[in-house]
Amino acid sequence: MPKVLISDKMDPRAAQIFRERGVEVDEITGKTPDELAAMIGDYDGLAIRSSTKVTRAILDAATNLKVVGRAGIGVDNVDIPAASAKGVVVMNTPFGNSITTAEHAIALMFALARQLPEADASTQAGKWEKNRFMGVELTSKTLGLIGAGNIGSIVADRALGLRMKAIAYDPFLTPERALEMGVEKVDLDTLLARADFITLHTPLTDQTRNILSKENLAKTKPGVRIINCARGGLIDEAALKEGLDSGHIGGAALDVFVEEPAKASPLFGTPNFVSTPHLGASTSEAQVNVAIQVAEQMADYLMSGGVTNA
């Protein structure tokens, strides 16, 4: 009977599915890398969220490991080249938390448009600063999507429902798909020049790192508001801070940071800056979805060699 370790907190339905499919499962979370390395040799599968770092050292110790399943989208916490070299299949669940993450981007867009966190803090401090918080409407504004895949396309759909215009920069977006989505496909410079709001929905790769660099931030429309629920490292955080301080950037909302956990960012305390602690996938619905999906995919692979998402 194959044996799987669930090493991050995961909805109990994952363990239930493994057992129903004939896979033995242990749920042991919060281990140090050394502790994990000491135990990983017993397992055929490792199911993780974002806390466990599947490094080369862990993979070297994983003498029986056949599959790593990430309950979520990003696999940045897995050393993919090291896993591939060992023949370990790495799977993710690209659809389970897309709606949830898209909704978080929309929530942050509203938060920026109406300065909700600052207005809330001020009101609860007893200030009643009705004249301080003049917002902007979303209707008729242009939303620039950097990345129009699973999550970006849902954000576009919701934005169109809010009567925004949606433009997208995504080298993988075909004209047919753009038409189907109701978005205008543009190049990056056009997006930077035209968007009132910019939202990022792309993985962090060599091509996308610092896509909102100092140079590109300087090309944005004055007053632009920027949302990042994708990955830290897509925006130059120092340049973003400069842009907010100068007033060129009207607001920024980050759910993700270059360094996480972000406990002391220079951005903290900047006016018109909103942050959340990588909550993009944090809804009960999404966590159930990704737990079910990762367990089904891993059980398929371990029991019959079937690969549905690697």
Q: Where are any strands of DSSP class E within the chain?
A: 3-6, 24-27, 45-48, 67-70, 89-91, 142-146, 165-169, 184-185, 197-200, 224-228, 249-254, 273-275
Beta bridge partners of 141: none
CA distances from 230 to 34, 99, 216, 278, 310 (A): 30, 13, 18, 9, 20
CA distances from 309 to 50, 253, 275 (A): 18, 31, 32
Exactly one of 103, 225, 231, 237 is catalytic; name it. Answer: 231
Considering only residues 263 to 282 of the shown chain, the ones binding ligand MLT according to CB under 6 A are 278, 280-281
Please identify which residue in 47, 59, 73, 227 interacts with ligand MLT, judged by CB under 6 A: 73
What binding mask, one character per residue, do residues 78-107 give for ligand MLT by CB under 6 A, x or -? -------------------x----------
248 is catalytic: no
Rounded-to-integer distance, Cα 226 and Cα 162, Å: 18
Query: At residue 194, what is the residue type?
Result: R
Tell me, what DSSP letter sits at residue 278?
Answer: S
252 touches 95 (CB < 8 A): no
33/74 with CB nearer ligand MLT: 74
233/280 with CB nearer ligand MLT: 280
> What are the backbone dihedrals phi and psi of residue 114, each rounded to the nearest 5 degrees, phi first?
-120, 15
Stretch that binds ligand MLT, among 54-62, 71-79, 191-199, 207-215 (CB under 6 A): 71-79
Q: Determine if 203 is a binding residue for ligand MLT (CB under 6 A).
A: no
104 is catalytic: no
Exactly one of 35, 137, 180, 260 is catalytic; name it. Answer: 260
Please identify which residue in 45, 69, 72, 149 interacts with ligand MLT, judged by CB under 6 A: 72
Please identify which residue in 16, 21, 74, 82 interacts with ligand MLT, judged by CB under 6 A: 74
Least spacing, CB of residue 140 vs ligand MLT, in Å: 31
Least spacing, CB of residue 247 vs ligand MLT, in Å: 31
Least spacing, CB of residue 72 vs ligand MLT, in Å: 3
Q: Which residue is nearest to ligand MLT (CB)?
A: 72
Q: Determine if 309 is a binding residue for ligand MLT (CB under 6 A).
A: no
Task: Please give the size of the binding site for ligand MLT, defined by CB under 6 A.
Answer: 8
CA distances from 104 to 66, 99, 108, 191, 256 (A): 34, 9, 6, 22, 12
Least spacing, CB of residue 91 vs ligand MLT, in Å: 13
27 is catalytic: no
Rounded-to-integer distance, Cα 119 and Cα 125, Å: 10
Stretch that binds ligand MLT, among 28-36, 72-80, 124-132, 182-190 (CB under 6 A): 72-80
Beta bridge partners of 77: none
Burial class, 298, CB count within 10 angstroms (exposed 0-12 / middle 13-18 / buried 19+): buried
Q: Determine if 159 is a binding residue for ligand MLT (CB under 6 A).
A: no
Q: Which are the catalytic amino acids?
A: 231, 260, 278
Which residues contact ligand MLT (rule: CB under 6 A)? 50, 72-74, 97, 278, 280-281
